[in-house]
Chain A
Amino acid sequence: MTAIPVDQPLAREHGEARPQVSHGLADWLTTTDHKQIGLLYIGTSLVFFLLGGLAALALRLELAQPGMEFVTPEVYDQLFTMHGTIMMFLFGTPIALGLANYLLPLQIGAADMAFPRLNALSYWLFLFGGLVVVGGTFIVGGPADAGWTIYAPLSGPDYSPGPAMDMWIVGIGLTGISSILGAVNFIATLFTRRAPGMTMLRVPIFTWGVLVTAVLILFSFPVLTAALALLYIDRHLGGSFFEAASGGSPVLFQHLFWFFGHPEVYILILPFFGIISEIVPVFSRKPLFGYRAMILSLVLIALYSFTVWAHHMFTTGAVDLPFFSFVSLLIAVPTGIKFFNWIATMWRGQLTFPTPMLWCLGMMYFFLIGGITGVIVASPPLDFQFQDTYFVVAHLHNVLVGGTVLAAFAAIYFWFPKATGRLLSERLGKIHFWTFLVGITVTFLPQYQLGADGMPRRYADYPPNPGWADLNMISTVGSWIMAFSILVFLVNVVLTLRRPATAPDDPWEANSLEWATSSPPPDHNFRSLPKVRSERPVFDMRMSANQERSDA
């Protein structure tokens, strides 16, 4: 059995022209095409990623040494609030939704989303919501400064008067509604637009990840919207939901926020688990090991995610510690299933290491540390020390950068040829990968020690305790290595886009349906669809093409 040459187009007849997919500005502004909307989402979220990254560089610069050197404490608070808000709501969530937008219809053999205009509305709500939040920067007094968790009563009328907090509430509320509409659309599309033969147990694992994520969004974002509405009532209509003096409860705000907030962090990781599960089999030349177990573990993580919110509140003295500790620890089990199945997929495979695979491996190595430290902080007595310190900062960056961001780069390198007809430079890609890996290691690992020593997060300044200045300086140096790495990535994207589109339709010998059409796909995605008989229709297609050739 031999594989067919990779440059043999599967979707186009030999010599047929690549479909024309250039778009003018008017087209981008009015499009309802899921691929264009997906690219808008991804592009916009990457711009926000750069903004959030710049804020992080400024934070790290201030923290490099004790004392206030570059910014005032007020500006420092605004910077970390904007950094967290942007990265969670304006980068992490929308890049996941963008990838889902681009890939889900293609992976199930659909021409578009079920509700294309609703899809466009989702994007524009997200964009303008984001602009309202970030727009706080341009008003007198600057943007919101109560942290991305906007705990009441700090975010209430007494301690955050002024319009910045209102802009945060309204802007994030808009992005939340955008996510809810998107989730409805993904679910409807998946349930109604699958190609003939594509049963639910043949749906690619990334799309399964999107489905589970969409359900998480449907159940969690409305709770955030409610919390924001109550906070707004407290601020402007004389409410006292979160005002202790009038019988309200600040703890209630935390319950509402984290009932959204913990599923939110799984919204930021489950699609990316799906990406790893999609890419590792391709570069191992094997099917995904334990496809059904992978689906089950996605579902279990999603279910558990609604039962663990109070592990963010162990030090409030207001929650049941053993229960929330046990269910939080339990999440390690389905996450472990994912890791072991990835390893089993590679086991006895034929591994190659182009950039998408490197990012996947980097994610496995790095996310594991974040997973383990997540188990540590799920134990309340240990959390009593680590809560609200740099240990937690290191942990959450370990999972969000080491997980979400690394997997997002894996996805970008993997699907870039599908979306543009061009392969990103492997040489620059490898520089990008290795410098980024060094950057996150140098930036975040010292923060574990800082947190263990008791350095609280959200400190504009810190005392010159032994070792703190050195560890902070190392961390700051790491942040600049990351910045350099991102610069390499931008150069790679710009240079690649200036080259002619010569990538084959299926450069990686991949498995799922998006590789059965041209790169980039034509309007409405497919000229014809291959038969779907397994969860690897394009693999089957390649095999039967081989078979026919050897029979002839």
Chain B
Amino acid sequence: MTRRCFACQVAILGALGALASGCIPQAATTQGQSINSLYTVALAMSAVVAALVWGLITWSVIRYRRGKRASDELPPQTSGSQVLEIIWTAGPLIAIVILFTATLLTLNVVNAAPQQGAVQLNVEAFRWGWRMTYPNDGVSVEGVLAPGPQAVLPVGREVQINLTSADVIHSFFVPQFLYKKDAIPGHPNSFTITIAEPGTYAGQCAEFCGVFHSQMPFTIRAVSDTDYRAWLSSERAAGSTPGATP
């Protein structure tokens, strides 16, 4: 179902880190695609660090094990080196600064404010379901427990999602967007996505919210802008109530 990025697989398979790290889905949003790139950078750096440190430990274990017929002579009692301390302080520091820079660049893309005219979708989470309202179109979809509501969104347009919660904290999570954001009572949140690929994307609650936490999925169907508009009109015609506007 999920397509795995090639670069990510190379980075993973190529290194000992393969054992450890997961492979994330190829993102369906432009914002998520920049997260894919950042992840590839992070994985590559991780692989280098893991190979270096594991290599050094393994080398020490093999090379410096005490032989069966070793003399009682103690090894050189070296107890430190300022030069080495500086090197292995500076090395990780440089790596951190590189990763942090890449992080900032990605954050700028992911957190960019939407342009005027972005599609608005208000999402209210509650125990245990979602109410999704298109405030400018008087359309609303709602669902409790599985299979949950389906929101239709246009491909290639910015969509601003405004999150609120009616009771406890929930989290709006679409794995294929590589993104989640918490729905917190009294603390409205919003974020912007631009879906790049048409398709149906599964979403779910990611913040523990009680007994049916695992039973509040939703889906997002991404279609062309024309189909999106057609869907809105048909929903309006079908008398979809404007929902409880938050």
Contact = CB atoms under 8 A, between A and B. Distances in A.
Contacts of B220: none
A154 B169 contact: yes
Highest count of chain A CB atoms <10 Å: which of B56, B80, B209: B80
A284 B42 contact: no
Given A315-B171, A330-B96, A381-B35, A351 B53 contact: no
Contacts of B122: none
Chain A to chain B: the 4 pairs with minimum beta-carbon distance, closest first: A454-B175, A244-B186, A452-B22, A459-B214
A365 B54 contact: yes
B110 A346 contact: no
Given A382-B39, A385-B178, A391-B22, A453 B88 contact: no
B92 A332 contact: yes
B66 interface: yes
B57 A317 contact: no
Nearest to B90: A333
B80 A351 contact: no
11 contacts: A77-B211, A151-B168, A322-B104, A337-B85, A364-B57, A369-B19, A381-B178, A384-B178, A384-B179, A387-B206, A449-B22
Contacts of B212: 73
A349 interface: yes
Given A290-B85, A337-B88, A453 B214 contact: no
Nearest to B46: A372
Interface string B142-165: 000000000000000000000000
A309 to B, nearest CB: 16
A456 B25 contact: no
Contacts of A462: 214
A153 B21 contact: no
A381 B112 CA distance: 13
Contacts, number: 280
A167 B85 CA distance: 48
Given A351-B66, A376-B42, A461-B215, A456 B84 contact: no
Interface residues of B, number: 89
B197 interface: no
A514 B95 CA distance: 40
Interface in B6-26: 17, 19-25
Contacts of B78: 286-287, 289, 348
A443 to B, nearest CB: 13
Interface in B28-74: 34-35, 38-39, 42, 46, 49-50, 53-54, 56-57, 60-61, 64-66, 70, 72-74
Contact of A361 (B35, B50, B61, B74): B61
A391 B103 CA distance: 19
Contacts of A346: 57, 60-61, 64
**Which residue of B1, B23, B191, B207 has the most chain A CB atoms within 10 A of its CB atom?**
B207
A244 B211 contact: no
B221 interface: no
B168 A369 contact: no
Given A287-B79, A315-B171, A315-B180, 9 more contacts: A151-B169, A315-B182, A317-B190, A330-B96, A339-B53, A349-B60, A385-B175, A385-B180, A456-B206
Main secondary structure of the interface of A (DSSP, over half): helix
Interface centre among B84, B173, B180 (most CB of A within 10 A): B180
B180 A388 contact: yes
Interface in A445-478: 445, 448-454, 456-463, 465-466
B219 to A, nearest CB: 12
A74 B202 CA distance: 25
Given A349-B64, A373-B20, A456-B204, A318 B38 contact: no
A250 B169 contact: yes
B213 interface: yes
B61 A381 contact: no
Nearest to B106: A381
Contacts of A384: 35, 110, 178-181
Interface in A326-351: 326, 329-330, 332-333, 336-337, 339-341, 343-344, 346-351
B192 to A, nearest CB: 12
